[in-house]
Amino acid sequence: MKALPIDGERLQRQIDELAAISAAPAPVVTRVLFSEADLRARDYVKNLCRETGLTLREDAVGNIFARWAGKHPHLAPIATGSHIDAIPNAGRYDGVVGVLGAIEAMRALQQSGFKPERPIELIIFTAEEPTRFGIGCLGSRLLAGSLPLEKAASLRDPDGKSLEELRSQAGFGGQDLREVRLTPKSYAAFVELHIEQGALLEKENLPIGVVEKIAAPSTLRVQLTGVGGHAGAMLMPERHDALLAGAEIALAVEQAVLTSGSPDTVGTTGVFRIEPGAVNSVPCRAWLEIDLRDTLVATRDAALKRVENSVAEICGKRGVTFTVERLNVDAPAICDSSLVETVIASCGELGLPVKRMVSRAYHDSLFMAQICPTTMIFIPCRGGVSHRPDEYSSPEQIKNGVAVLAMALARLAV
Ligand code: HGY
Ligand code: MN
Ligand code: MN
Protein backbone atom coordinates (compact mmCIF):
# COMPACT_ATOMS: atom_id res chain seq x y z
CA MET A 1 0.00 0.00 0.00
CA LYS A 2 1.42 3.39 -0.96
CA ALA A 3 2.04 6.01 1.74
CA LEU A 4 -1.28 7.16 3.19
CA PRO A 5 -2.22 10.89 3.16
CA ILE A 6 -2.23 11.25 6.97
CA ASP A 7 -2.59 14.92 7.84
CA GLY A 8 -0.52 15.23 11.04
CA GLU A 9 -1.09 18.98 11.33
CA ARG A 10 -4.88 18.65 11.17
CA LEU A 11 -4.71 15.86 13.77
CA GLN A 12 -2.53 17.94 16.12
CA ARG A 13 -4.93 20.88 15.72
CA GLN A 14 -7.84 18.63 16.70
CA ILE A 15 -5.93 17.23 19.70
CA ASP A 16 -5.35 20.82 20.85
CA GLU A 17 -8.97 21.83 20.18
CA LEU A 18 -10.24 18.87 22.18
CA ALA A 19 -7.77 19.64 25.00
CA ALA A 20 -9.33 23.10 25.29
CA ILE A 21 -12.66 21.43 26.16
CA SER A 22 -11.84 20.92 29.83
CA ALA A 23 -13.24 21.64 33.28
CA ALA A 24 -9.84 23.09 34.20
CA PRO A 25 -7.78 25.92 32.67
CA ALA A 26 -5.10 25.01 30.07
CA PRO A 27 -2.76 23.18 30.04
CA VAL A 28 -4.73 20.97 32.45
CA VAL A 29 -7.31 18.59 30.92
CA THR A 30 -10.15 17.34 33.11
CA ARG A 31 -13.24 15.66 31.61
CA VAL A 32 -15.13 13.51 34.08
CA LEU A 33 -17.97 11.24 32.94
CA PHE A 34 -21.12 13.19 31.94
CA SER A 35 -19.70 16.49 33.18
CA GLU A 36 -20.38 19.57 31.04
CA ALA A 37 -16.86 19.27 29.59
CA ASP A 38 -17.37 15.57 28.79
CA LEU A 39 -20.65 16.32 26.99
CA ARG A 40 -19.06 19.13 24.95
CA ALA A 41 -16.13 16.89 24.06
CA ARG A 42 -18.54 14.20 22.89
CA ASP A 43 -20.26 16.70 20.61
CA TYR A 44 -16.91 17.83 19.22
CA VAL A 45 -15.82 14.31 18.34
CA LYS A 46 -19.23 13.30 16.95
CA ASN A 47 -19.02 16.26 14.56
CA LEU A 48 -15.62 15.05 13.34
CA CYS A 49 -17.13 11.60 12.76
CA ARG A 50 -20.00 13.10 10.74
CA GLU A 51 -17.53 15.15 8.66
CA THR A 52 -15.71 11.88 7.93
CA GLY A 53 -18.91 10.29 6.66
CA LEU A 54 -19.25 7.84 9.55
CA THR A 55 -22.68 6.66 10.72
CA LEU A 56 -23.19 7.41 14.40
CA ARG A 57 -25.11 5.68 17.16
CA GLU A 58 -24.93 5.84 20.97
CA ASP A 59 -25.98 3.20 23.49
CA ALA A 60 -27.69 3.45 26.87
CA VAL A 61 -24.48 4.25 28.78
CA GLY A 62 -23.19 6.70 26.20
CA ASN A 63 -20.72 4.55 24.29
CA ILE A 64 -20.42 6.16 20.84
CA PHE A 65 -20.15 4.02 17.68
CA ALA A 66 -19.05 5.59 14.38
CA ARG A 67 -19.18 3.19 11.44
CA TRP A 68 -17.63 3.21 7.93
CA ALA A 69 -20.00 0.78 6.21
CA GLY A 70 -17.72 -1.06 3.78
CA LYS A 71 -18.80 -3.13 0.76
CA HIS A 72 -20.48 -5.83 2.88
CA PRO A 73 -22.19 -4.02 5.79
CA HIS A 74 -23.57 -7.27 7.24
CA LEU A 75 -20.07 -8.62 8.01
CA ALA A 76 -18.74 -8.24 11.60
CA PRO A 77 -16.79 -4.96 11.67
CA ILE A 78 -13.17 -4.36 12.50
CA ALA A 79 -13.28 -2.04 15.51
CA THR A 80 -10.87 0.52 16.86
CA GLY A 81 -11.21 3.27 19.46
CA SER A 82 -10.44 4.49 22.95
CA HIS A 83 -11.74 7.18 25.34
CA ILE A 84 -11.99 10.95 25.59
CA ASP A 85 -12.79 11.25 29.28
CA ALA A 86 -9.88 12.42 31.43
CA ILE A 87 -9.06 12.29 35.13
CA PRO A 88 -8.53 15.56 37.07
CA ASN A 89 -5.20 17.23 36.21
CA ALA A 90 -4.68 15.05 33.12
CA GLY A 91 -2.88 15.57 29.84
CA ARG A 92 -4.21 15.81 26.29
CA TYR A 93 -3.10 12.52 24.72
CA ASP A 94 -4.35 9.67 26.98
CA GLY A 95 -7.25 8.07 25.08
CA VAL A 96 -7.55 10.99 22.67
CA VAL A 97 -4.75 9.69 20.43
CA GLY A 98 -6.73 6.47 19.94
CA VAL A 99 -9.96 8.31 19.08
CA LEU A 100 -8.81 11.24 16.92
CA GLY A 101 -6.02 9.09 15.48
CA ALA A 102 -8.58 6.49 14.37
CA ILE A 103 -10.68 9.15 12.64
CA GLU A 104 -7.56 10.41 10.86
CA ALA A 105 -6.64 6.84 9.91
CA MET A 106 -10.08 6.26 8.35
CA ARG A 107 -9.97 9.60 6.55
CA ALA A 108 -6.54 8.79 5.11
CA LEU A 109 -7.75 5.36 3.95
CA GLN A 110 -10.80 6.96 2.34
CA GLN A 111 -8.66 9.56 0.57
CA SER A 112 -6.31 6.86 -0.68
CA GLY A 113 -9.28 5.21 -2.41
CA PHE A 114 -9.29 2.18 -0.07
CA LYS A 115 -12.69 0.46 0.17
CA PRO A 116 -13.04 -1.94 3.11
CA GLU A 117 -14.82 -5.24 2.43
CA ARG A 118 -16.21 -5.25 5.97
CA PRO A 119 -17.24 -2.24 8.10
CA ILE A 120 -14.66 -0.39 10.19
CA GLU A 121 -16.14 1.01 13.41
CA LEU A 122 -14.74 3.54 15.84
CA ILE A 123 -15.89 3.07 19.45
CA ILE A 124 -15.56 5.98 21.90
CA PHE A 125 -16.03 4.29 25.26
CA THR A 126 -17.88 5.88 28.13
CA ALA A 127 -15.88 6.47 31.32
CA GLU A 128 -12.65 4.58 30.76
CA GLU A 129 -11.40 6.57 33.74
CA PRO A 130 -12.62 5.62 37.26
CA THR A 131 -13.04 9.18 38.54
CA ARG A 132 -16.82 9.41 38.75
CA PHE A 133 -17.71 6.05 40.33
CA GLY A 134 -14.33 4.62 41.37
CA ILE A 135 -14.46 1.90 38.70
CA GLY A 136 -12.69 2.22 35.34
CA CYS A 137 -13.85 1.06 31.91
CA LEU A 138 -17.54 1.42 32.78
CA GLY A 139 -18.64 1.52 29.14
CA SER A 140 -16.50 -1.39 27.91
CA ARG A 141 -17.34 -3.48 31.00
CA LEU A 142 -21.02 -3.15 30.17
CA LEU A 143 -20.36 -3.95 26.49
CA ALA A 144 -18.54 -7.12 27.58
CA GLY A 145 -21.22 -7.99 30.13
CA SER A 146 -18.59 -8.08 32.84
CA LEU A 147 -20.33 -5.60 35.17
CA PRO A 148 -23.55 -7.00 36.63
CA LEU A 149 -26.42 -4.56 36.02
CA GLU A 150 -27.35 -4.53 39.70
CA LYS A 151 -23.77 -3.46 40.49
CA ALA A 152 -24.03 -0.72 37.85
CA ALA A 153 -27.31 0.41 39.41
CA SER A 154 -25.65 0.58 42.85
CA LEU A 155 -22.81 2.88 41.71
CA ARG A 156 -22.82 6.29 43.40
CA ASP A 157 -20.48 9.22 42.82
CA PRO A 158 -19.01 11.24 45.75
CA ASP A 159 -22.14 13.45 45.72
CA GLY A 160 -24.35 10.36 45.98
CA LYS A 161 -25.56 10.60 42.35
CA SER A 162 -26.39 7.30 40.63
CA LEU A 163 -25.46 6.14 37.14
CA GLU A 164 -29.17 6.09 36.33
CA GLU A 165 -29.55 9.74 37.34
CA LEU A 166 -26.44 10.89 35.50
CA ARG A 167 -27.06 8.99 32.28
CA SER A 168 -30.62 10.32 32.18
CA GLN A 169 -29.38 13.89 32.68
CA ALA A 170 -26.92 13.27 29.83
CA GLY A 171 -29.80 12.20 27.58
CA PHE A 172 -29.37 8.42 27.62
CA GLY A 173 -32.19 7.61 30.06
CA GLY A 174 -34.59 6.57 27.32
CA GLN A 175 -32.53 3.45 26.54
CA ASP A 176 -32.33 0.26 28.55
CA LEU A 177 -28.95 -0.58 30.09
CA ARG A 178 -29.65 -4.26 29.34
CA GLU A 179 -29.24 -3.52 25.63
CA VAL A 180 -25.64 -2.35 26.01
CA ARG A 181 -24.12 -5.83 26.21
CA LEU A 182 -22.68 -6.96 22.87
CA THR A 183 -23.15 -10.49 21.60
CA PRO A 184 -19.93 -12.43 20.91
CA LYS A 185 -18.90 -12.03 17.25
CA SER A 186 -20.20 -8.45 17.26
CA TYR A 187 -16.75 -7.56 15.99
CA ALA A 188 -14.11 -9.48 14.05
CA ALA A 189 -11.23 -7.69 15.82
CA PHE A 190 -10.40 -4.66 17.96
CA VAL A 191 -7.17 -2.62 17.72
CA GLU A 192 -6.61 0.32 20.09
CA LEU A 193 -3.98 3.02 19.52
CA HIS A 194 -2.74 4.52 22.79
CA ILE A 195 0.26 6.33 24.27
CA GLU A 196 2.39 3.90 26.27
CA GLN A 197 2.00 5.78 29.57
CA GLY A 198 5.41 4.32 30.45
CA ALA A 199 8.98 5.06 29.35
CA LEU A 200 10.12 1.80 27.72
CA LEU A 201 9.68 2.81 24.07
CA GLU A 202 11.35 6.15 24.62
CA LYS A 203 14.24 4.54 26.55
CA GLU A 204 14.82 2.07 23.71
CA ASN A 205 14.23 4.79 21.12
CA LEU A 206 11.49 2.74 19.45
CA PRO A 207 8.52 4.30 17.61
CA ILE A 208 5.95 1.51 18.11
CA GLY A 209 4.94 -1.06 20.71
CA VAL A 210 2.46 -3.89 20.18
CA VAL A 211 0.70 -5.17 23.29
CA GLU A 212 0.62 -8.89 24.06
CA LYS A 213 -0.80 -8.62 27.61
CA ILE A 214 -2.65 -6.01 29.70
CA ALA A 215 -1.94 -6.04 33.46
CA ALA A 216 -4.61 -7.02 36.02
CA PRO A 217 -6.13 -4.00 37.83
CA SER A 218 -8.10 -3.90 41.08
CA THR A 219 -9.65 -1.13 43.17
CA LEU A 220 -10.63 -1.13 46.85
CA ARG A 221 -12.85 1.44 48.54
CA VAL A 222 -12.25 1.74 52.29
CA GLN A 223 -14.58 3.76 54.54
CA LEU A 224 -13.36 4.58 58.07
CA THR A 225 -15.45 5.86 60.97
CA GLY A 226 -13.63 7.12 64.06
CA VAL A 227 -14.67 9.60 66.73
CA GLY A 228 -14.60 13.32 66.02
CA GLY A 229 -14.01 16.01 68.59
CA HIS A 230 -12.40 19.27 69.59
CA ALA A 231 -8.72 19.48 68.59
CA GLY A 232 -7.90 21.28 71.79
CA ALA A 233 -10.08 19.62 74.39
CA MET A 234 -9.87 15.97 73.26
CA LEU A 235 -6.75 14.45 74.80
CA MET A 236 -4.71 12.03 72.70
CA PRO A 237 -5.56 8.75 74.55
CA GLU A 238 -9.29 9.42 73.95
CA ARG A 239 -8.88 9.73 70.19
CA HIS A 240 -9.98 7.41 67.35
CA ASP A 241 -8.69 9.55 64.51
CA ALA A 242 -10.00 8.30 61.12
CA LEU A 243 -7.35 10.20 59.17
CA LEU A 244 -4.47 8.60 61.06
CA ALA A 245 -5.96 5.15 60.50
CA GLY A 246 -6.21 5.99 56.81
CA ALA A 247 -2.63 7.24 56.76
CA GLU A 248 -1.39 3.97 58.26
CA ILE A 249 -3.46 2.04 55.71
CA ALA A 250 -1.92 4.02 52.83
CA LEU A 251 1.54 3.08 54.13
CA ALA A 252 0.39 -0.54 54.50
CA VAL A 253 -0.57 -0.50 50.79
CA GLU A 254 2.96 0.60 49.91
CA GLN A 255 4.41 -2.12 52.18
CA ALA A 256 2.15 -4.81 50.70
CA VAL A 257 3.31 -4.11 47.15
CA LEU A 258 6.97 -3.60 48.00
CA THR A 259 7.08 -7.00 49.71
CA SER A 260 5.08 -8.85 47.03
CA GLY A 261 8.16 -10.50 45.54
CA SER A 262 7.31 -9.11 42.08
CA PRO A 263 8.66 -5.84 40.61
CA ASP A 264 5.38 -5.53 38.66
CA THR A 265 3.13 -5.08 41.69
CA VAL A 266 2.05 -1.46 42.06
CA GLY A 267 -0.26 0.13 44.64
CA THR A 268 -1.60 3.66 44.97
CA THR A 269 -3.96 5.31 47.42
CA GLY A 270 -5.13 7.82 44.85
CA VAL A 271 -8.19 9.09 46.72
CA PHE A 272 -8.12 10.10 50.39
CA ARG A 273 -11.00 12.23 51.65
CA ILE A 274 -11.72 13.15 55.28
CA GLU A 275 -14.51 14.77 57.28
CA PRO A 276 -15.14 17.31 58.65
CA GLY A 277 -11.93 18.86 57.24
CA ALA A 278 -11.59 21.58 59.87
CA VAL A 279 -8.13 22.23 61.25
CA ASN A 280 -9.38 22.25 64.85
CA SER A 281 -11.55 19.15 64.63
CA VAL A 282 -10.34 15.54 64.96
CA PRO A 283 -11.18 13.73 61.65
CA CYS A 284 -14.16 11.46 62.32
CA ARG A 285 -14.46 9.86 58.83
CA ALA A 286 -12.16 8.98 55.96
CA TRP A 287 -12.59 7.43 52.53
CA LEU A 288 -9.73 5.79 50.62
CA GLU A 289 -9.70 4.42 47.07
CA ILE A 290 -6.80 2.06 46.52
CA ASP A 291 -5.53 1.01 43.08
CA LEU A 292 -3.56 -2.25 43.12
CA ARG A 293 -2.20 -4.05 40.04
CA ASP A 294 0.24 -6.62 38.76
CA THR A 295 0.84 -8.44 35.52
CA LEU A 296 0.31 -11.68 37.49
CA VAL A 297 -3.03 -12.34 39.16
CA ALA A 298 -1.59 -14.43 42.02
CA THR A 299 0.76 -11.69 43.26
CA ARG A 300 -1.92 -9.04 42.79
CA ASP A 301 -4.42 -11.09 44.80
CA ALA A 302 -1.92 -11.85 47.57
CA ALA A 303 -1.12 -8.14 47.93
CA LEU A 304 -4.85 -7.33 47.95
CA LYS A 305 -5.41 -9.79 50.81
CA ARG A 306 -2.49 -8.30 52.76
CA VAL A 307 -4.01 -4.84 52.40
CA GLU A 308 -7.43 -6.06 53.59
CA ASN A 309 -5.81 -7.74 56.61
CA SER A 310 -3.90 -4.54 57.41
CA VAL A 311 -7.11 -2.51 57.34
CA ALA A 312 -8.67 -4.80 59.96
CA GLU A 313 -5.54 -4.79 62.13
CA ILE A 314 -4.98 -1.00 62.01
CA CYS A 315 -8.65 -0.22 62.67
CA GLY A 316 -8.77 -2.74 65.53
CA LYS A 317 -5.75 -1.09 67.15
CA ARG A 318 -7.17 2.42 66.70
CA GLY A 319 -10.79 1.70 67.62
CA VAL A 320 -11.99 2.80 64.18
CA THR A 321 -14.80 0.95 62.40
CA PHE A 322 -14.39 0.22 58.67
CA THR A 323 -15.91 -1.19 55.50
CA VAL A 324 -13.83 -2.51 52.60
CA GLU A 325 -15.45 -2.86 49.16
CA ARG A 326 -13.77 -4.52 46.17
CA LEU A 327 -14.93 -2.18 43.39
CA ASN A 328 -13.21 -4.28 40.73
CA VAL A 329 -10.76 -7.17 40.68
CA ASP A 330 -10.05 -7.92 37.03
CA ALA A 331 -8.17 -10.62 35.20
CA PRO A 332 -5.36 -9.55 32.87
CA ALA A 333 -6.04 -9.69 29.11
CA ILE A 334 -4.00 -11.79 26.70
CA CYS A 335 -3.97 -10.15 23.26
CA ASP A 336 -4.60 -12.10 20.09
CA SER A 337 -1.33 -13.39 18.63
CA SER A 338 -2.42 -13.19 15.00
CA LEU A 339 -3.51 -9.57 15.50
CA VAL A 340 -0.14 -8.88 17.08
CA GLU A 341 1.48 -10.30 13.92
CA THR A 342 -0.76 -8.09 11.75
CA VAL A 343 0.47 -5.01 13.62
CA ILE A 344 4.08 -6.19 13.33
CA ALA A 345 3.64 -6.77 9.59
CA SER A 346 2.13 -3.28 9.24
CA CYS A 347 5.17 -1.82 11.03
CA GLY A 348 7.41 -3.79 8.68
CA GLU A 349 5.67 -2.37 5.64
CA LEU A 350 6.17 1.12 7.06
CA GLY A 351 9.78 0.48 8.05
CA LEU A 352 9.00 1.12 11.72
CA PRO A 353 10.78 -0.98 14.37
CA VAL A 354 8.31 -2.45 16.92
CA LYS A 355 8.56 -3.95 20.42
CA ARG A 356 6.28 -6.61 21.92
CA MET A 357 5.07 -5.29 25.28
CA VAL A 358 2.93 -5.64 28.36
CA SER A 359 0.60 -2.73 29.13
CA ARG A 360 0.88 -1.72 32.78
CA ALA A 361 -2.02 0.67 32.39
CA TYR A 362 -5.46 -0.78 31.80
CA HIS A 363 -7.57 0.24 28.80
CA ASP A 364 -10.90 -0.57 27.21
CA SER A 365 -8.99 -3.27 25.34
CA LEU A 366 -8.96 -5.17 28.66
CA PHE A 367 -12.69 -5.75 28.16
CA MET A 368 -12.87 -5.76 24.37
CA ALA A 369 -10.57 -8.80 24.64
CA GLN A 370 -13.57 -10.58 26.23
CA ILE A 371 -15.64 -9.80 23.11
CA CYS A 372 -13.25 -10.33 20.19
CA PRO A 373 -9.56 -10.77 19.26
CA THR A 374 -7.82 -7.62 20.52
CA THR A 375 -4.46 -5.93 20.58
CA MET A 376 -3.04 -2.44 21.11
CA ILE A 377 -0.56 -0.20 19.32
CA PHE A 378 1.59 1.96 21.61
CA ILE A 379 3.52 5.12 20.79
CA PRO A 380 6.13 6.66 23.09
CA CYS A 381 5.25 9.45 25.50
CA ARG A 382 7.92 11.80 26.81
CA GLY A 383 9.54 10.44 29.99
CA GLY A 384 6.68 7.94 30.23
CA VAL A 385 4.67 10.75 31.83
CA SER A 386 0.86 10.38 31.78
CA HIS A 387 -2.11 11.49 33.90
CA ARG A 388 -0.35 14.85 34.16
CA PRO A 389 -0.71 18.08 32.14
CA ASP A 390 2.87 17.70 30.81
CA GLU A 391 1.97 14.39 29.10
CA TYR A 392 3.39 14.62 25.56
CA SER A 393 3.81 12.64 22.34
CA SER A 394 5.24 14.41 19.30
CA PRO A 395 3.24 14.89 16.07
CA GLU A 396 5.69 12.53 14.36
CA GLN A 397 5.24 9.81 17.02
CA ILE A 398 1.45 10.18 16.73
CA LYS A 399 1.60 10.08 12.93
CA ASN A 400 3.61 6.84 13.10
CA GLY A 401 0.95 5.30 15.33
CA VAL A 402 -1.86 6.42 13.03
CA ALA A 403 -0.06 5.00 10.00
CA VAL A 404 0.36 1.60 11.68
CA LEU A 405 -3.28 1.63 12.80
CA ALA A 406 -4.49 2.54 9.29
CA MET A 407 -2.35 -0.20 7.75
CA ALA A 408 -3.57 -2.77 10.27
CA LEU A 409 -7.23 -1.79 9.78
CA ALA A 410 -6.82 -2.06 6.01
CA ARG A 411 -5.23 -5.51 6.31
CA LEU A 412 -8.02 -6.69 8.64
CA ALA A 413 -10.98 -5.16 6.82
CA VAL A 414 -10.53 -7.20 3.67
O1 HGY B 1 -5.57 3.77 35.17
C2 HGY B 1 -5.33 3.32 34.03
O3 HGY B 1 -4.56 2.40 33.83
C4 HGY B 1 -6.00 3.97 32.86
O5 HGY B 1 -5.26 5.08 32.48
N6 HGY B 1 -7.35 4.36 33.17
MN1 MN C 1 -5.80 7.10 31.79
MN1 MN D 1 -6.24 5.73 28.60
Model confidence pLDDT, tens digit, residues 363-384: 999 999 999 999 999 999 999 9
How would residue 18 be classed by pLDDT, with cut points 50, 70 and 90?
very high
Q: Are 19 and 99 in contact (CB under 8 A)?
A: no
- Summarised one tens digit per residue, pLDDT across range 184-205 is 889 999 999 999 999 999 999 9
- Please work out whether the CB of residue 361 comes within 6 Å of at least one atom of ligand 1: yes
* Percent of all residues in the chain with a pLDDT value above 70, rounded to a whole number: 100
Q: Domain 8-215+332-412 falls in which CATH fold?
A: Aminopeptidase (3.40.630)
The ligand 1 atom at the shortest distance from the C-alpha of residue 94 is: 5
Q: 189 CB contacts (<8 Å, ≥6 apart)?
A: 78, 79, 336, 339, 372, 373, 374, 412
Task: Tell me 186's DSSP state.
Answer: S
Say if residue 2's pLDDT is above 80. Answer: no
Domain 218-329 CATH assignment equals 3.30.1110.20: no
Domain boundaries, the chain: 8-215+332-412, 218-329
For ligand 1, atom 5: residue with the closest CA: 361
Q: What is the mean pLDDT of residues 138-160?
A: 96
Q: Return the pLDDT at 172.
A: 96
Q: Return the pLDDT at 3.
A: 82
- Summarised one tens digit per residue, pLDDT across range 233-252 is 999 999 999 999 999 999 99
The ligand 1 atom at the shortest distance from the C-alpha of residue 136 is: 6
Closest CA to 188 of 336, 345, 357, 366: 336
- Please work out whether the CB of residue 90 comes within 6 Å of at least one atom of ligand 1: no
- Answer yes or no: same fold for 8-215+332-412 and 218-329: no
For residues 268-301, one letter each, b for 16 or more C-beta atoms within 10 angstroms of the residue's C-beta and e for the rest, the string is ebbbbebeeeeeeebbbbbbbbbbbbbbbeebbe
The pTM assigned to this predicted structure is 0.96
| Vertex 85: Cα angle to 82 and 86 (nearest 5) | 115
Q: How far is CA 59 from CA 63, 64, 133, 139, 185, in A?
A: 5, 7, 19, 9, 18
- Summarised one tens digit per residue, pLDDT across range 82-133 is 999 999 999 999 999 999 999 999 999 999 999 999 999 999 999 999 999 9
Q: Are 79 and 193 in contact (CB under 8 A)?
A: no
- Summarised one tens digit per residue, pLDDT across range 329-361 is 999 999 999 999 999 999 999 999 999 999 999
**Cα 232–chain centre separation:** 45
Q: What is the mean pLDDT of residues 213-239?
A: 97
SS3 68: strand
* Percent of all residues in the chain with a pLDDT value above 90, rounded to a whole number: 98
Q: Return the pLDDT at 1.
A: 63
Q: Return the pLDDT at 184.
A: 82
Task: Dump the DSSP string for 295-357.
Answer: SSHHHHHHHHHHHHHHHHHHHHHHT-EEEEEEEEEPPPEEPPHHHHHHHHHHHHHHT--EEEE
Say if residue 274's pLDDT is above 70. Answer: yes
Torsion of CA 110, 112, 115, 120, to 10 degrees: -50
Q: Return the pLDDT at 403.
A: 98
For ligand 1, atom 6: residue with the closest CA: 129
